[in-house]
Structure 1
């Protein structure tokens, strides 16, 4: 999740920078009344944001940086980043100066390091299943709609053996696929900038990802749409509204294929 949050911040720093601009990544550790914390800052030399509007950047579908440019975006990247960081017990903030650039930072509590000979660790709570790393199945969902990502989390979160990775933008999804090599990819078809077929083509061309099964999840439910999807190379084609039972069966079959 931290990787995903930093990819979002770095992506913005690249997109909204100026020609021959710079990006600075700074990591600082500090002590606070809440214990040791690490702050990671991403600063750019782009157009900047007016001080009176800075508090709007984390609101969904707000594109302050892209209002006066042709750069495409959904306006939810920073909203998702904020949510991810807060779920991990952290904070996120921003500083900016018009014409000079912006600096976004995330701050998280440091993890306590347990020594190998320390046997005082607390046993898992009732109902918690601890799995060997080799048994974990990684599922990447690429969808620009936050509601759809939330739905996938609710459906797949019931399985203790799955780890769901979420990407709200096509390029971020490709980056996460290359970095994490998931066992399965759930891919929306209708996305801005790069649709699902274009994303699938990129994944098929790369030797790192070309063997990962990809399932289309889309509202395009015509027979011709389904035929096109299967011809393009999707392992399966799920139409909305989703039949949860059938969807879970398709997911299980795809994961079994990867074992």
Structure 2
């Protein structure tokens, strides 16, 4: 399995997710925005799944996911939308943007583990 790429503009979220996932045996790469994420992906890192914050400055997940899914080199990578937006319809909006899965913040680690198991184990 490749690494998990965590994309979030809040370093506290990156720190918390990385710590928990590493404790569960996952290898994580991180990016604080889409520019950095695209650079990591273009460098040929073995990314197996992306956990993407949907609300970021510059380029949010709703803009970024269609770009990833339109790229022949990245379209196969599952993208899990991670968002504080937990209102009715937000899950559908994330999936409509091309996300393969959805989880709301604060992240329930057991639910996240179940999602990851669907795609990476």
Query: What secondary structure, in the 3-state scheme, does the structure 2 residue paired with 1:190 have?
Result: coil
Q: 2:84 aligned with 1:219, yes or no?
A: yes
Which of the two has higher C-alpha Rg? Answer: 1
Deviation at residue 229 of structure 1 after TM alignment: 0.9
State which of 219, 243, 247 in structure 1 corresponds to 2:112.
247
Deviation at residue 152 of structure 1 after TM alignment: 1.0
Query: What secondary structure, in the 3-state scheme, does the structure 1 residue paired with 2:81 have?
Result: strand
Unpaired segments ≥5 residues, structure 2: none
Q: Paired residues, what number? A: 120
**Runs of 4+ in structure 1 displaced over 4 angstroms?**
none
State which of 30, 40, 44 in structure 2 corresponds to 1:176.
40
Deviation at residue 207 of structure 1 after TM alignment: 0.7
Q: Which has the higher helix share?
A: 2
State which of 185, 193, 196 in structure 1 corresponds to 2:61.
196
Deviation at residue 178 of structure 1 after TM alignment: 2.6
Task: Between the two structures, name the one with larger relative contact order (CA 8 Å, sep ≥ 6).
Answer: 2
1:182-202 residue CA offsets vs partner (Å, 9 max, x unmatched): 100000011001011111121
- Provide the aligned C-alpha RMSD in A: 1.2
TM-score normalised over the length of structure 2: 0.92
TM-score normalised over the length of structure 1: 0.45
State which of 196, 207, 216 in structure 1 corresponds to 2:72.
207
Partner Cα separation in structure 1 for residue 74 and residue 35 of structure 2: 14
Query: What secondary structure, in the 3-state scheme, does the structure 2 residue paired with 1:241 have?
Result: coil
Note if contact 2:2-2:46 (Cα within 8 Å) is conserved in structure 1: no
